Amino acid sequence: MEKVIEEEKQGTTVQLNDKKENGRKLYIESYGCQMNFSDSEIVASILAKEGFNTTNTLEEADLVLVNTCSIREKAEQTVRKRLEKFNRVKERENPNMKVGVLGCMAERLKSKFLEEEKIVDMVVGPDAYKDLPNLVAEIDEGRDAVNVILSKEETYGDVAPVRLHSNGVTAFVSITRGCDNMCTFCVVPFTRGRERSRDPQSILEEIQDLVNKGFKEVTLLGQNVDSYLWYGGGLKKDFKKASPMAQATAVDFAKLLHIVAKAQPNLRVRFSTSNPQDISDDVLHAMAAHRNICNYIHLPVQSGSDRILKEMNRLHTRQEYMDLIDRIHDIIEDCAISQDMIAGFPTETEEDHQDTLSLMEYVKYDYGFMFAYSERPGTMAARKMEDDVPEEVKKRRLSEIIDVQRRTGLERAQYFVGKTVEVLIEKESKRSDQHWAGRNSQNYMTVFPKGNFKVGDFVMVKITDCTSATLIGEAVGYSDMTGPITIK
């Protein structure tokens, strides 16, 4: 149950079609959140113009890049182990290979990385990828290179990413970068910088390009998409200083959803991640108004205890969250909701933990991503609070959280049995080459016999059975998704 889908992707490499004129080989491996996978596609695109073709073979790479994650200590340990592996390959088989670290760990450790890990030649933070041509030139001449400057503007809106983590049907489009929320446990505001939004025009252009290439679904991506705000460029926190004209014509997330859904009525639209304190009723109404916006909200809560929410600097109470859940169900028919939860935040008592379990019982989440608290250097929690919940207590609370999630997840999946749902076919089922796999609006993976359907089709599937994560059924025909947009 814990980040099942994401776990599979960890450490995946990108391989592009070779350009004949390119003579050098790039190996790029990615860890962490979807944003990192997206960023690697931007990096591969930038380096393709610098003479690099991609390879999946470490031993033949001229340049090895690893796009890193800092969210929990374990994520950083995984990267350290990979660097050891790169070191062995360099010593034994590929002495000329250069190694660069990208992403959140690069930003967190900066030039310390060069001291700590002899194998590393280059350290590049998440806002500095356009400087890669210069940085690569530096390391070509034998010097170490570092650029970890965070930017107020960079959204990579003008770099066309290459879609190689993709199945040709669904794609991610980033709309914001950075986060201003400062949850006390979280390293993201430090590694990804201040929050900024991308020009809606460039978002629409990227989406049009995806549609032209045959994509059928996009997920709008950001650390906190509900906070999206375009007023001509600049940091979210500077909005108040913008001209009255810029403020009056600003595009917020609800407007962006309307614009995208209307511009592409035959494209499914999803988004991630939502933050309870920032999601507005306008967003819920936009979801209800467009049938092509999927009925699914990833709405991390982290804890069900008011006291812990406050310590985490999550700017809402348990009751406000529960009211929000009620409004979601009032406004949107059959909306699935998923959570992120942290077990064992500093000072968490048994009573706080019980509050988390009872909140989960109230919401009946469809899925969840659940973690034991991991202290991150530099965060407010690390500076001000002692990591005082013993490891075995964290583990036990985490497993109790996972148990509730399994149960409510199964209950929610069972709701679909006997119903007919719309599924976008993404790929062959992993278990059987006779079955297709795709998601319904609520993001449940659904498998069914192939029939005459093909990847990219929208089909109606009658659900006959389920597990807690998968619906099983039979296709009964095409959906009318390719017809005119209907407003509920």
Binding-site residue numbers for [4Fe-4S] cluster are: 33, 69, 104, 179, 183, 186
Smaller CB distance to ligand SAH: residue 71 or 294? Answer: 71
Pick from 270, 251, 239: nearest CA to 335 = 270
Specify the 3-state DSSP secondary structure of 439. strand
Q: What is the DSSP string of 42-53?
A: HHHHHHHTTTEE
- Could you give the CA distance from residue 35 to residue 155 in angstroms, rounded to a whole number? 12
16 interacts with ligand F3S by CB under 6 A: no
Specify the 3-state DSSP secondary structure of 451. coil
For ligand SAH, which stretch binds (CB under 6 A), given 75-83, 143-151, 233-241, 369-377?
369-377
Beta-carbon contacts of 361 under 8 Å, excluding residues fewer than 6 positions away, are 404, 408
Query: What are the Cα distances from residue 296, in Å, to 54, 304, 341?
Result: 35, 21, 18
Task: Check if the beta carbon of residue 435 is closer than 8 Å to that of residue 466.
Answer: no
What are the counts of helices (DSSP H) followed by strands (DSSP E) for the chain?
16, 22
Residues 50-79, mask of contacts with ligand SAH (x by CB under 6 A): ---------------------xx-------
Rule CB under 6 A: which of 216-275 touch ligand SAH? Answer: 223-224, 273
Taking the alpha carbons at both ends of the chain, their separation in whole angstroms is 33
261 interacts with ligand F3S by CB under 6 A: no
**Binding-site positions:** 33, 69, 104, 179, 183, 186
User: At which residue do the structure tokens 């959280």 appear?
Assistant: 401
Which one of ligand SAH, ligand F3S, none is in contact with 263 (Cβ closer than 5 to 8 A by kind)? none
Task: Count residues binding ligand F3S (CB under 6 A).
Answer: 10
Rule CB under 6 A: which of 223-252 touch ligand F3S? Answer: 223-224
Minimum gap (Å) between residue 368 Cβ and ligand F3S = 15
Which one of ligand F3S, ligand SAH, none is in contact with 189 (Cβ closer than 5 to 8 A by kind)? ligand F3S
423 interacts with ligand SAH by CB under 6 A: no
Pick from 271, 259, 260: nearest CA to 295 = 271
Smaller CB distance to ligand SAH: residue 309 or 342? Answer: 342
Rule CB under 6 A: which of 176-205 touch ligand F3S? Answer: 179, 181-183, 186, 188-189
Which one of ligand F3S, ligand SAH, none is in contact with 210 (Cβ closer than 5 to 8 A by kind)? none
- For residue 111 the two structure tokens come to 């030039």
* Beta strand spans in 132-247 (E): 145-147, 170-174, 176-177, 196-197, 217-221, 229-230
Footprint of ligand SAH (CB under 6 A): 71-72, 185-186, 188, 223-224, 273, 300, 302, 340, 342, 371, 373-374, 376
Footprint of ligand F3S (CB under 6 A): 179, 181-183, 186, 188-189, 223-224, 275
